Amino acid sequence: IINPDNVRAQVEGAIIQGLGGALYESVRFANGRILNPGFDGYRVPRFLDLPRIETVLLDRRDLPSVGAGETPILAIAPAIANAVFHATGRRLRAMPLAPDGTVAL
């Protein structure tokens, strides 16, 4: 890993983006019009919404160099949905998983 601080920042940014898409972000429509066209009505995660993120980088010199920063975004929504399922038996199948930012258990 040439620049671990940069990779760590990219990974943590992807996790935050994944949390936003999984729990908050949603474009709402009515009669073919966007109801929340600005950031005042489009919910994104705030710092107080975020968990502590611990990033562990693995320097795999036996593997070819590939991108690392955005890969974590793929696992966030499935991880949250599966955690809710294992805790409650309820499957969440539409995003955002929690339109108001909280998962009703």
Annotated catalytic residues are 70
Preceding peptide of 96 cis, ω within 30°: yes
- What is the rounded CA–CA span in Å between residue 27 and residue 32? 12
How far is Cα of residue 16 from the mean position of the Cα atoms in its chain?
Answer: 5
Residue tagged 């966030």 (tokens): 76
The burial class, CB within 10 Å (0-12 / 13-18 / 19+), for 49 is middle
Contact 84/92 with Cβ under 8 angstroms? yes
